[in-house]
């Protein structure tokens, strides 16, 4: 079945350093979503990428969708303590006709040392 692999599992950085998490799928994705979960909180939607090679930015966050639509990345420039949390990617594929399946990666836990 479809798998969405996310690396690294953990990342600890000093405040001000950059951070990147990567998501790789065994199958071509229809689109990919990114979520952030603060410690003790619930996942919150960040963005959705649909097009091959798409790049989107949200302030210090840059999201990319690979040309083959099998991988994606989230890059944070100059991390801040407010960036702490677990970042999940979620890929969707067609699963018979118009039915889609959404598969979450296991997430990358980011901690930031002030």
Partner 1 sequence: DADVTQTPRNRITKTGKRIMLECSQTKGHDRMYWYRQDPGLGLRLIYYSFDVKDINKGEISDGYSVSRQAQAKFSLSLESAIPNQTALYFCATSLAGLTDTQYFGPGTRLTVL
Phi-psi domain of 96 (left: phi exceeds 0; alpha: psi -120 through 50; beta: other) = left
Nearest-approach distance from CB 112 to partner 1, in angstroms:
20
Pairing of strands 10-14, 108-113: parallel
CA distances from 26 to 15, 33, 42, 55, 92 (A): 33, 16, 27, 21, 12
For residue 14, count other CB atoms closer than 10 A to its CB.
Answer: 9
Q: Restricting to residues 6-35, name those near partner 1 by CB under 8 A.
A: 6, 9, 30-31, 33, 35
Instruction: Write the interaction track for partner 1 spanning residues 34-53; mark x where CB under 8 A is met and - where it is not.
Output: -x-----xxxxx--x-----
Instruction: Write the interaction track for partner 1 spanning residues 69-108; mark x where CB under 8 A is met and - where it is not.
Output: -------------------x-x-x------xxxx-xxxx-
Residues in contact with partner 1 by the rule CB under 8 A: 6, 9, 30-31, 33, 35, 41-45, 48, 88, 90, 92, 99-102, 104-107
């Amino acid at each position: 079945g479809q798998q969405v692999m996310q690396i690294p599992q953990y990342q600890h950085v000093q405040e001000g350093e950059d951070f990147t998490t990567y998501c790789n799928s065994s199958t071509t994705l229809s689109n990919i979503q990114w979520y952030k979960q603060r410690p003790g909180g619930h996942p919150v939607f960040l963005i959705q990428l649909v097009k091959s090679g798409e790049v989107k930015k949200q302030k210090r966050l840059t999201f990319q969708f690979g040309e083959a639509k099998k991988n994606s990345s989230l890059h944070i420039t100059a991390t801040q303590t407010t960036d702490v949390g677990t970042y999940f990617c979620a890929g969707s594929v067609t699963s018979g006709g118009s039915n889609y399946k959404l598969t979450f990666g296991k997430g990358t836990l980011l901690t930031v040392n002030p």
